[in-house]
Amino acid sequence: MKNLVCPHCQTVLQSEASVCLGCGAEIVRGASRREKSTGGCLVAIVGLVLTMSVLGLVLPAYGIGSESGLAIIVVLILAAVILNFLGRALVAFFFRSRLRFFRTYRHQ
């Protein structure tokens, strides 16, 4: 069994602990909300640029012009939503073993 060490008080904890017994710091596992959001946005932006590039090359070859503009916009919006969820899932997967210690200070 792997032990954890609190960065605030240097107390040795069990790996399943959710709170430090020495200083009361909360142990949070995984990526933060901001990291997930950033990852989702980055994957969506890169994916949309690639999708628009592919659509720009493929659609004229099949004779599809501006009359299908609404369908193309709907496809791009769906691609953005799907890619955002994919990016969030990838960040959550790759940061799943990350540990963060949050200590609250109460001043009197």
State the residue range of the domain holding 73.
Answer: 3-102
Q: What is the pLDDT of residues 71-105, one digit of tens each?
A: 888 888 999 999 999 999 999 999 988 888 888 77
Is position 108 within any domain? no
Question: What is the dihedral angle through the alpha carbons of 82, 87, 88, 92, rounded to the nearest 10 degrees?
Answer: 140
Q: What is the pLDDT of residues 14-47, one digit of tens each?
A: 988 889 988 888 999 899 999 999 999 999 999 9
What are the structure tokens assigned to 71, written together? 């369908």
For residues 71 and 60, give the distance between their C-alpha atoms in angstroms, rounded to a whole number.
15
Is position 8 within any domain? yes
Is position 19 within any domain? yes
- Please say whether the beta carbons of 75 and 100 come within 8 A: no
Q: Look at 4-13, 33-42, 53-62 and tell me which has the smallest mean pLDDT.
A: 53-62
**Structure confidence at residue 3 as a pLDDT band (50, 70, 90):** confident
In whole angstroms, what separates CA 14 from the centre of its chain?
Answer: 27
Is position 11 within any domain? yes
Is position 61 within any domain? yes
- Please say whether the beta carbons of 39 and 86 come within 8 A: no
For residues 5 and 11, give the distance between their C-alpha atoms in angstroms, rounded to a whole number.
6
- Give the total number of structural domains in the chain: 1
Q: Is the pLDDT of residue 66 over 80?
A: no
